Amino acid sequence: MKRVEDPGYPEPEPMVQSDDDEESFWMSLSDEQKEEIEAMNNALVFSVSATVVDHRATRLHWRHNGKIYEAWSNVDFNHLTGFARFKVDGRYYDPYFGIGNTSSEMEDVEKAPDFPTRQPTYILTRGDAADKAALEGVEALHALYRVEHDRLKAAYEKRELARIERQRYLEANPPKPRDVTIQFWKRELSDNSAGRETR
């Protein structure tokens, strides 16, 4: 840590956007652009915990309105990572995954069921199958996978290859820690900088 004299940087100007600016921007958009923005703002945000077994099946857990849902999927959910938003039938979805991988050889790993089809599907094992809202996010993920399987798998494999190559490089060339000097100074507080004594 190194204390220095205040260099006298000016305070940043506060950014103020008026309602007129927002209205002008909105009016400049086409009807199609407005519909797209409204659709994006109404995206379904949902969370799913996924445990991939042998890269062949995935155990799913999620909650909806305080109720627990569980299912088995014949999709490798590793392929469904790497993106933040997707669109199915005009509806946007924002999934949040807690994802892990395991092996069926582990003693405490539940065995996946036999699936009735090789098409991307899931078998609900806990929860209300009639509650369409509770299943919408999981349904949309499988609908996406049916259409984009090849691209999703290829993208995942490319990310994995890059990760492995990076890991090997770091193992062969471990980064050397460097000393970092942090310069700081004391300044007089103004109304706009309350609570920010150092920079």
Alpha carbon separation from 88 to 38, 43, 192 (Å, rounded): 15, 11, 45
For the chain, what are the domain ranges?
A: 28-185
Residue 33 is predicted with a pLDDT of 80
Torsion over CA: 37, 42, 43, 45 (sign): positive
Residue 24 is predicted with a pLDDT of 77
- Chunked into runs of 10 residues, the chain (199 residues) has average pLDDT values of 86 72 75 76 92 96 97 97 91 94 87 92 97 97 96 96 96 91 82 49
pTM of the model: 0.74
Residue 199 is predicted with a pLDDT of 42
- Per the document, the length of the chain is 199
> DSSP state, 78?
G
